[in-house]
Amino acid sequence: MKAGPDIVLVLARATNGVIGKDGGLPWRLPADLKHFKALTLGHPMIMGRRTFDSLPGLLPGRRHIVLTRDPQWAGEGAETAPDIATAIQIANASPVMVIGGAEIYRLFLPIATRIELTEVHIEAQGDVAIPYPDPAQWQETARADHPAQGDAPACSFVTFHRRAVQ
């Protein structure tokens, strides 16, 4: 049996790996925002400072735990942590949702148990990218495809679980 909470990475990624542009998302995708809310509501969210700053405000019904190296930083409504272990301890829950950015995803990837990925079916322009989940480590366990609607591109909501160690 695994010790510790379930760590869930929640992210949207374009076909070319882009996840961000100029501190925000490079697309407008209302279905993904609803999906994000459904996944994270009632759970603590761990994020980096830039991700916290990019939010439109505090997201209701969720704790905002900000991983930052700056011990002086404070954001209204945010709890701060200097490292992964402290962030998980502050969260004191399972699951814990990790919502970005790329550096935070990289830090949590080795201990993540699940990835909730929105595949955005476009080649996006952006300045932050991450690789697709490695099929040797991650198994796709669910997929829901959604067609383009108006200006919003087609997307797929995909769930991955970490493969058992052989």
Separation between Cα atoms, residue 88 and residue 102, nearest integer Å:
18
pLDDT in tens, 130-156: 999 999 999 999 999 999 999 999 999
Residue type present at position 127? D
For residues 73 and 84, what is the distance between their CA atoms, to the nearest angstrom?
17
Which tens digit of pLDDT belongs to each residue from 32-60?
999 999 999 999 999 999 999 999 999 99
CATH for 7-162 is 3.40.430.10
Q: What's this model's pTM, rounded to 2 decimal places?
A: 0.95
Instruction: Tell me how far apart the alpha carbons of residues 148 and 153 are, in angstroms, rounded to a whole number.
Output: 4
User: What is the per-residue pLDDT for 99?
Assistant: 97
Cβ–Cβ < 8 Å for 48, 67: yes
Please report which confidence band the pLDDT of residue 63 belongs to, taking 50, 70 and 90 as the band edges: very high
3-state secondary structure of 87: helix
Alpha helical stretches, state H, the chain:
30-40, 49-54, 84-91, 102-108
pLDDT on residue 140: 97
| Helices vs. strands in the chain: H and E counts, helices first | 4, 10
For residue range 74-107, list pLDDT tens digits in order. 999 999 999 999 999 999 999 999 999 999 999 9
In this prediction, residue 166 carries a pLDDT of 59
Q: In the structure, what pLDDT confidence band is assigned to residue 2 with cuts at 50, 70 and 90? A: low
